[in-house]
Amino acid sequence: METVGEDLVLLGIRANGTIGVAAKLRFGLSGAELIRLAAMRRVDIERGRIVVLDPAPTGDALLDDALASMRGRGRPPTAKNWVARNRAGLTKRYLDRLVAAGTIRLERRKALGLIPVDRWIVADAGRLAQAKARLDAIAYGSGGVSAEQAALAGLASAIGLARLQYPGSADRAAIAAATDAAISASIDAATSAATDAAQHAGSGGHGGGHH
């Protein structure tokens, strides 16, 4: 489960260095964090609401921030509302993490000699291939899949990454059907809640970019 968020970012980078699903990517990243925290038994989903079971630090700064944002006074947040929440700079933090790891690099240029434009270049083709292989296992596989594969495919489908990775209509139909089957058969209530929340947030008109 550790790589689900980073995989979503990698798969969202177009060949020209732009983020293909920038407006929805943060919803997928929040969903990935919810899934990871549930897998670690730090949170649970009860009647659609996130319940924090263990608020202790996880050792991952991004997960720690996510966990802290789930706590507060009053009723626990619903999974849908938490995933839809605008947590400023979330996608940029994942991009920075991948830069620090040497997986991608940032190139800054000026369009028309005036407008600064950021381009994200994949430096580790093998790491990208691993992420794509995990998604392909859902789109083209005929057997069982792991919870991590199902989580990645569910979130990728929810935020529209399938259209980037599988541009043919037949491929999109294949991954949609396979993802639905995988989610229902292979992942727990927390993963279903996260993917549903990402889908709801992404289709609800929420804005957001990659900064």
The CATH number for 165's domain is 1.10.3630.10
Q: How large is the average pLDDT for residues 174-178?
A: 61
Confidence of residue 158 (pLDDT cuts 50, 70, 90): confident
pLDDT in tens, 83-114: 988 898 999 999 999 999 999 999 988 767 67
Residue 192: inside a domain, yes or no? yes
pLDDT more than 70, % of the chain: 78
pLDDT in tens, 62-81: 999 999 999 877 789 998 88
Residue 211: inside a domain, yes or no? no
| pLDDT over threshold 60, residue 210 | no
Residue 208: inside a domain, yes or no? no
User: Distance (Å, rounded) from C-alpha 34 to C-alpha 50?
Assistant: 9
Q: How large is the average pLDDT for residues 22-45?
A: 91
3-state secondary structure of 67: helix
The range of the structural domain enclosing residue 143 comes to 4-203
| pLDDT over threshold 90, residue 140 | no
Q: How large is the average pLDDT for residues 30-41?
A: 91
| pLDDT over threshold 80, residue 122 | yes
Confidence of residue 175 (pLDDT cuts 50, 70, 90): low
Got the DSSP string for 103-147? SEEEEEEEETTTEEEEEEEE--HHHHHHHHHHHHHHHH--S---H
Identify the residue with better confidence: 25 or 191.
25
Q: How many domains does the chain have?
A: 1
pLDDT more than 90, % of the chain: 41
What are 128's two structure tokens? 């990208």
Residue 210: inside a domain, yes or no? no
Residue 8: inside a domain, yes or no? yes
pLDDT score for 198? 72
Classify the C-alpha dihedral 208-93-131-14 as positive or negative: positive
pLDDT score for 130? 94
pLDDT score for 204? 62
Got the DSSP string for 180-193? HHHHHHH--HHHHH
Residue 154 contacts by C-beta under 8 Å, 6 or more apart in sequence?
179, 182, 183, 187, 191, 192, 194, 195
pLDDT score for 143? 61
- Quote the mean pLDDT of the chain: 82
Distances (CA, A) of 98 to 9, 61, 84, 127: 9, 14, 23, 11
